[in-house]
């Protein structure tokens, strides 16, 4: 089957203990950048990274 394509979309959620908002606004964007770079280095494509 030449011209057969596939795509897998994965949503990953990391809950924190007691559901506390622990990401400080001062370093939140830097953390999201690091997570995105780690995902992209594996050959995957990041659609969105977000958190509270």
Task: Give which of 29, 25, 30, 32 is closest to 46, Cα–Cα.
Answer: 32
What is the structure's pLDDT at 1? 62
What is the structure's pLDDT at 5? 87
1-52 pLDDT per residue, tens: 678 888 888 888 877 777 777 788 899 999 999 999 998 999 888 888 887 7
What is the structure's pLDDT at 50? 84
Question: What are the φ/ψ torsions at residue 32 (nearest 5 degrees)?
Answer: -65, -35
């Amino acid at each position: 089957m030449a011209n057969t394509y596939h795509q897998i979309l994965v949503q990953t959620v990391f809950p924190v203990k007691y559901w506390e908002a622990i990401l400080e606004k001062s370093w939140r964007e830097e953390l999201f950048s690091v997570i995105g770079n780690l995902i992209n280095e594996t050959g995957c494509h990041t659609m969105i990274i977000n958190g509270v």
